[in-house]
Structure 1
Amino acid sequence: MNESLTSDSACGAVQGKRIVVVGGAGAIGKAIVNLLTLEGAAVVIADYNAGAARTVVEKLTDAGRIASSVALDISDEGSVRRAFEETSTQLGGLDVLVNSAGVINERPFTELTLSQWNEVVDLNLTGVFLCCREAIPLLRREGGGRIINIASQVGQRGRERLTHYAAAKAGVIGLTKALARELAPEGILVNAVAPGPIDTPFSATLSAETLAATAGELPLRRAGVPEEVAPSVLLLASEPGGNLYVGQTLGPNSGDVML
């Protein structure tokens, strides 16, 4: 995190909001958690890597922020259910869900095995479905709320050797739009954030050819960092800033996709 955890000049854009960040111990998720807690939210990190989640929580609480964690395997329906029950207990309710968990790996399409396809789709798309399904009753109890799904510009434009990832992230965008239409009348606003190339440990696993081709196509001529994604999430989670966003996909993508 570039933002110092000792700098607690909270502006309060989400002051008092109760938020769960799924995948909050990952690079982008951690930046999101840092900004949301800086802006006054109480955040639960739901993550498969329980040790990493606890480390983030310790740093945040030492800085006077409100944060805790729960263990979550988004590929396991029972684990998702238990995690949201525990989250609701810890927070005393829920106002915002941020789905930031996922995985990426590179394969030529004809070399993809069914298990490789299923892993990427399960963790990037089915996990979002499961988390949304558990969160919606909690948001309904509060009379409304926000769901923010982290998608990817790959789901909008496609990318060779990432067909399984592109399909899953395009599915997240489609799910976001359909769910937004279904839930907006109840005051639950559903949106997505589709980052472009971001410097994370995941991106470091991509081939040099893919990274070079991607960087060369960016009008900004550079990838982003996780801290440049988090403000889009903050906007969508905040009031009144996010009040009119319904079914939208915000694109902090260095100009890779222009809509």
Structure 2
Amino acid sequence: MHEPAAHRDELGAGAVLVTGAASGIGLATATRCHEQGWAVGLLDRDEERLGAALATLGAAGAPPVAAEAADVTDAAGVQVAVDALAGRLGRLDAVVNAAGIGGYTGDVVATTPERWERTIAVDLTGVYLVSRAAVPHLRAAGGGRIVHVSSQFGLVGAAGSPAYVAAKSGVIGLTRAMAVDHAAEGILVTCVCPGPIDTPMLRASHADGSVAARAESERTAHRSLLGGPGRPEDVAGTVLFLLGPDAAHLTGAVLAVDGGWTAG
């Protein structure tokens, strides 16, 4: 058997790359990491919000923060951005893949090929592309952590969302496959599955007046055991645990951070 490489996390915070870092769970995660002493690389396609996030974290002082605008579906752009952030931070010890899109598309007949492809591209292929670009940097650092953000709908079905459910289920499968492939290198790969979280994406879904949106809202009303949506910081706290020394024996793990949504 191979012995895992030494983990940077055992020595304290290092440098983390967060995708979808301009808002929601990604921004909350980047903020919590920075507060805990991580150097943070921000990646998002929304340049305006990304600039605001960079300014806010940068104003908080050390450790360093850097940002690169990129669409996670653009393989060449992702490679350039990840390499640039690793270079500016001096190393890369961890990655949090939080970028994603939602939206109801209807059943498989109503879901157009264009919407199917875009959802899969962002929510699943984007995770693969960022991981592909980042793993060589984690190898160079002697190991590290990767945390993928899936969804409760990676664990169960949803009305009118075949593309989203397929993509988020795929993220869970990718987590397990990567855990197997990279354990011997000291790269631990885990996944969080948030339930409803008060983010711009959730608010947009609540504003969706489609038949599918109404059906899912009625089907899942009051589903959370803890009542109402969670906060981005609730997910960020779990991610921070997965990046830290207390999670040194966790890989391939899939954690529901859903207020008991999938338990009932």
TM-score (norm 1): 0.91
Give the aligned partner of residue 111 of structure 1: 110
In terms of mean alpha carbon deviation, does 51-60 or 118-127 score higher? 51-60
% same residue: 36
Contact kept, 8 Å, 1:139 with 1:145, in 2: the verdict is yes
Higher relative contact order (CA 8 A, sep 6+): 2
Does structure 2 conserve the Cα–Cα contact (< 8 Å) formed by 1:103 and 1:123? yes
Q: Does 1:231 find its partner at 2:237?
A: yes
* Separation in structure 2 between the aligned mates of residue 14 and residue 205 of structure 1, nearest angstrom: 41
Whether the 8 Å CA contact 1:80–1:131 is kept in 2: the answer is yes
Say which of 243, 246, 250 aligns to 2:248: 243
Q: How far is the alpha carbon of 1:15 from its aligned partner?
A: 4.6
Could you tell me which runs of 5 or more consecutive residues in structure 2 were left unpaired when the two chains were aligned. 1-8
TM-score by length of structure 2 reads 0.89
Q: Cα RMSD between the aligned structures?
A: 1.8
The aligned residue for residue 149 of structure 1 is 148
Change (3 A) 1:214 1:225: farther
Supply the distance in 1 between the matched residues of 2:91 and 2:83 (Cα, whole angstroms): 10
- Given that residues 21 and 45 in structure 1 are in contact (C-alpha distance below 8 angstroms), is that contact kept between their aligned partners in structure 2? yes
Q: Secondary structure of the equivalent of 1:147?
A: strand
Instruction: Kindly state the Cα deviation for residue 144 of structure 1 after the two structures are TM-superposed.
Output: 0.5
**CA distance, structure 1, for counterparts of residue 155 and residue 55 of structure 2:** 37
Q: 1:22 to 1:164 in 2, by over 3 A?
A: same
Deviation string, structure 1 residues 12-47 (Cα, Å, up to 9, x no partner): 999541000011112111100110000000001011
Once residues 138 and 157 of structure 1 are traced to their aligned partners in structure 2, the CA distance between those partners, rounded to angstroms, is: 34
Partner of 1:214: 220
- Cα distance in structure 2, aligned partners of 1:152 and 1:134: 23
Q: Would the alpha carbon gap of residues 13 and 184 (structure 1) be closer, same or farther in structure 2, given more than 3 Å must change?
A: closer
Counterpart CA distance in 1 for 2:106 and 2:49 is: 32
**Secondary structure of the equivalent of 1:35?**
helix
Which amino acid in structure 2 is aligned with residue 93 of structure 1? R
Distance (Å, rounded) in 2 between the aligned partners of 1:14 and 1:41: 12
Aligned partner of residue 98 in structure 1, secondary structure: strand
2:16 equivalent in structure 1: 19
Contact 1:215/1:222, CA 8 A, preserved across alignment: no
In structure 1, the gaps of 5 or more residues are 1-11
